[in-house]
Amino acid sequence: MEHDEHLTADTANVLGPADAGPERRCVLTQAHGPRASLIRLAVGPDEQVAPDFNGKLPGRGAWIVADRAILDAAMTKGKLKGALARAFKSNALRLPEDLADQIAAGLERRALDRLGLENRAGNLIWGHERIGEAIIKGKIRLLIHAGDARPDGVGKLEAKRRGASPGTPSIVLPVGRDQLSMALGRENVVHAAISDAVSAARVMQALERWAAFNGGKVHKADDEDDEEQVAAAVAVAAAERH
């Protein structure tokens, strides 16, 4: 395959570590990466190409890196259709013009659904006071803020996290409280926390895959963050939603 500078960009940020699971090859960049960090494309009986997020649809599949910029460039130049024609051994494929939008929406839905699943499993804590108490007791493995959370509310929880559990990651979602509340089946959820380490890892994987596709990253707080940096992360998240 003829390589293109837009299609051979550094994909390390979206392919992830080499030991993260069975590897597959991106048909656009030829880069190898774990299945969890790529997107599988499948073809239906009507020759329509569609994303297969679970990687379980029958038939031959083709994998692409989870990077919207690379996908958009490939579609614009006709390289995706050619790559898929070779992968599926068919020239009759129907490639939807909104494929990138389908993938973006699907990754967002899966990330929010994952939060809902962990909530139903009893792994989430919500409510500013409850979360604050859990942080102090060392029971938090991941702290989550809605993208439209007030900086002062975020700052207070972050101060407790830095003081009592500085090694615990903290993230600002690229969606607001309405989407977070809907995902958890509750009203007006602005902050949430995960108390189980395995659950936290699952959520982070889904969030990072979603963010990577859109050319960004999950906004994380660390030991050096102060209130101004937290407010900046909230502002960035708000800008990304519009």
Per-residue pLDDT, 140:
95
Residue 33 CB coordination number (10 Å): 24
Give the tokens for residue 228.
């101004």
**Residue 11 pLDDT level (bands cut at 50, 70, 90):** very low
pLDDT in tens, 84-104: 999 999 999 999 999 999 999
pLDDT in tens, 178-198: 999 999 999 999 999 999 999
pLDDT in tens, 36-66: 889 999 998 889 999 999 888 888 899 999 9
The residue-averaged pLDDT of 157-171 equals: 92
CA distances from 49 to 33, 34, 55, 100 (A): 21, 22, 14, 12
Listed range (23-32, 138-147, 228-237) with the worst mean pLDDT: 228-237
**DSSP assignment of 28-46:** TT--EEEGGGEEEEEE-TT
For residue 27, give the nearest of 100, 101, 80, 92 by alpha carbon.
80
Per-domain boundaries in the chain = 12-99, 108-240
Per-residue pLDDT, 35:
85
Give the tokens for residue 197.
């380490």
Q: What is the CATH number of domain 108-240?
A: 3.30.1330.30
Per-residue pLDDT, 22:
77
Per-residue pLDDT, 10:
42
**Residue 156 pLDDT level (bands cut at 50, 70, 90):** very high
**Residue 212 pLDDT level (bands cut at 50, 70, 90):** confident
Per-residue pLDDT, 222:
54
Residue whose entry in the numeric block shows the structure tokens 């990330």: 111
Per-residue pLDDT, 59:
84
Query: Quick check: 9 pLDDT over 70?
Result: no
Per-residue pLDDT, 2:
37
- Beginning with the edge strand found earlier in the chain, give each strand of the sheet holding 49-51 in spatial order: 49-51, 38-43, 61-65
Q: What is the CATH number of domain 12-99?
A: 3.30.1230.10
Query: Quick check: 225 pLDDT over 70?
Result: no
**Residue 199 pLDDT level (bands cut at 50, 70, 90):** very high
| This prediction's pTM | 0.76
Measured CA to CA, the distance from residue 47 to residue 2 in angstroms comes to 25
